[in-house]
Amino acid sequence: MSVLIKGGTVVTADQTLRADILCTDGKIVQIADNINQPGGFKEIDAGGQYVMPGGIDPHTHMQLPFMGTVASEDFFTGTAAGLAGGTTMIIDFVIPNPQQNLMEAYRQWREWAEKSVSDYSFHVAITWWDDTVHRDMGILVREHGVNSFKHFMAYKGAIMATDETLVNSFARALELGAVPTVHAENGELVYRLQNDLFSTGISGPEGHPLSRPPEVEGEAANRAIRVAEVLGVPVYIVHVSARQALEAVTRARNEGQRVFGEVLAGHLLIDDSVYRDTDWGRAAAHVMSPPFRPKEHQAALWKGLQAGNLQTTATDHCCFCHDQKAMGREDFRKIPNGTAGVENRLEVLWHHGVNTGRLTMNEFVRVTSTNAAQIFNVYPRKGSISVGADADLVVWDPEATKTISAKTHHQKVDFNIFEGMTVKGCASHTISNAELVYADGELMVEKGAGRYVNRPPYAPFYDAVKKQAQVNAPMPVKR
């Protein structure tokens, strides 16, 4: 299909202008003041609306096998829900079990993702270390378009990466021109605190945030950042939720280190009172890691986003329904960790970011799309509105209002952490690969239409990093 978007105001990371956009064969082919085509094009009236790059959610977990169950949202339903909210690309995670061959896990996730309706890509988690992992990281970067590797510093006894694995993998990422990312929580401390709390009789969801205090995140973020500093590799901290972790990121950036920080829509907007809900199901539905924090952390996170110390927003979309959460009815340590949000990220950030004046519209585009595209090296194909870019666009109605609810959302989960929140500003139309896939509440998606997006390594940038390391290298001592 070919799509002509007429009468809208184009908003990108760096400009706002009145223009029509013509899309065909998957690409943006013309951006001009007044485009008139002789038919054959699906015309979208964007009068009074904004046209922005489709959102990129750099952190989702569709159909993740985790904590004894499998996330309820799969790649088909999850990418469709994303499109309904204006998100046109996700970066999900291949998470091999410890000792599992990386390529085997990668192939498994690629197969699961074939039913996606929007474009997608993968970070690959490094959960253990040996020579085959070293080798397969190279194969993934050179032959499969993977340029980022994830490290869970928590989940001891499962997918936690030890410091030894972290150091080996970070060093290998530098060699390959890939960026290491980390889930920053000190897994040893979490394990200790969980068991201490449980043995003193705390078994409900209120034990979850107590076992993962902000300091546990701050320590791990700082450790990962310092490891990256010593090795001279950039690092990306996923879901920064606590002031202490943000301070570690900010400190390092002020020192000139290349550190990136991601924040979740949920962490910006929800506080830890949810764990004191007297309804067990509602409290358990909010169990995710890192947990929701006391309010002062949200204020700090907004400032971090405004100041540019946090560059991306994500959701950590990882859905578990009530019956799955019930696995931890008697023991909070067994509640599957995860919450949803891929459908709602843009609208809640617009409402609480742009409508409140915290973010300009251009900053909104940066933190929901462009920065992720640049950090994960798919810009300007994604995250931009330019001739030749993928036609992944959202038409945004700033006057539309809606009240978010699990009863009406497209996400395949029976709970919504933003339940009852009324937002002003929503996607009216979403275009994916030059196809109109969502219009005025209706999804028109085709199973399998989404494509795997290769993300090349950062060769030019890493050359600069290596040159700088040579400049900084100490002179050998002559004896």
Contact residues for Zn ion, defined by CB under 5 A: 183, 316
Q: What is the 3-state secondary structure (H, E, C) of 297-331?
A: HHHHHHHHHHHCCCCEEECCECCCCHHHHHHHCCC
Is residue 150 a contact residue for ligand DUC (CB under 6 A)? no
Q: C-beta of 314: minimal distance to Zn ion in Å?
A: 8
Site string for ligand DUC, 182-221 (x = CB under 6 A): -x--------------------------------------
Is residue 318 a contact residue for ligand DUC (CB under 6 A)? yes
Is residue 289 a contact residue for ligand DUC (CB under 6 A)? yes
Rounded to whole angstroms, the Cα distance separating 22 from 345 reads: 27
Among 31, 49, 58, 61, binds ligand DUC (CB under 6 A): 61
Site string for ligand DUC, 433-452 (x = CB under 6 A): --------------------
Rounded to whole angstroms, the Cα distance separating 353 from 347 reads: 9
Is residue 316 a contact residue for ligand DUC (CB under 6 A)? yes
Rounded to whole angstroms, the Cα distance separating 414 from 404 reads: 13
Is residue 288 a contact residue for ligand DUC (CB under 6 A)? yes
Is residue 293 a contact residue for ligand DUC (CB under 6 A)? no
State the binding partner of 337 from ligand DUC, Zn ion, none, CB within 5 to 8 A by kind.
Answer: ligand DUC
Is residue 298 a contact residue for ligand DUC (CB under 6 A)? no
Q: C-beta of 275: minimal distance to ligand DUC in Å?
A: 13
Is residue 338 a contact residue for ligand DUC (CB under 6 A)? yes
Is residue 337 a contact residue for ligand DUC (CB under 6 A)? yes
For residues 66-105, which are near ligand DUC according to CB under 6 A?
66
Is residue 241 a contact residue for ligand DUC (CB under 6 A)? no
Nearest Cα to Cα of residue 83 among 262, 338, 346: 346
Q: C-beta of 362: minimal distance to ligand DUC in Å?
A: 31
Could you give the strand order of the β-sheet that contains 87-94, starting from the edge strand earlier in sequence? 55-57, 87-94, 119-125, 148-152, 179-183, 235-237, 259-264, 312-314
Q: C-beta of 288: minimal distance to ligand DUC in Å?
A: 3
Is residue 177 a contact residue for ligand DUC (CB under 6 A)? no
Beta strand 65-66 with 69-70 is antiparallel
Q: Give the total residue count for the chain.
A: 479
Residue 86 falls in which region: left (phi positive, over 0), alpha (psi -120 to 50) or beta: left
Q: C-beta of 117: minimal distance to ligand DUC in Å?
A: 22
Is residue 262 a contact residue for ligand DUC (CB under 6 A)? no
At residue 367, the 3 state secondary structure works out as helix
Q: C-beta of 323: minimal distance to Zn ion in Å?
A: 22
Is residue 173 a contact residue for ligand DUC (CB under 6 A)? no
- Tokens of residue 286, six digits: 């909010």
Question: Looking at beta carbons only, is 65 or 448 nearer to ligand DUC?
Answer: 65
Nearest Cα to Cα of residue 54 among 110, 101, 7, 5: 5
When CB distances to ligand DUC are compared, the closest residue is 288
Rounded to whole angstroms, the Cα distance separating 263 from 80 reads: 23
Q: C-beta of 402: minimal distance to ligand DUC in Å?
A: 26
Question: Looking at beta carbons only, is 83 or 318 nearer to ligand DUC?
Answer: 318
Q: How many Cα atoms are found within 13 Å in the side-chain-facing hemisphere of 208?
A: 33
Q: C-beta of 284: minimal distance to ligand DUC in Å?
A: 12
Rounded to whole angstroms, the Cα distance separating 272 from 293 reads: 5
User: 214-231 and 163-176 helices cross at what angle (nearest 10)?
Assistant: 50
Q: What is the DSSP letter of 60?
A: B
Is residue 169 a contact residue for ligand DUC (CB under 6 A)? no
Q: C-beta of 317: minimal distance to Zn ion in Å?
A: 8
Rounded to whole angstroms, the Cα distance separating 290 from 337 reads: 9
Is residue 315 a contact residue for ligand DUC (CB under 6 A)? no
CB atoms within 10 A of CB 421: 18
Question: Looking at beta carbons only, is 183 or 382 nearer to Zn ion?
Answer: 183
User: How far does the chain reach from its first CA to its final CA, in angstroms?
Assistant: 73
Question: Looking at beta carbons only, is 7 or 281 nearer to ligand DUC?
Answer: 281
Chain residues in the site for ligand DUC (CB under 6 A): 61, 66, 183, 288-289, 316, 318, 337-338
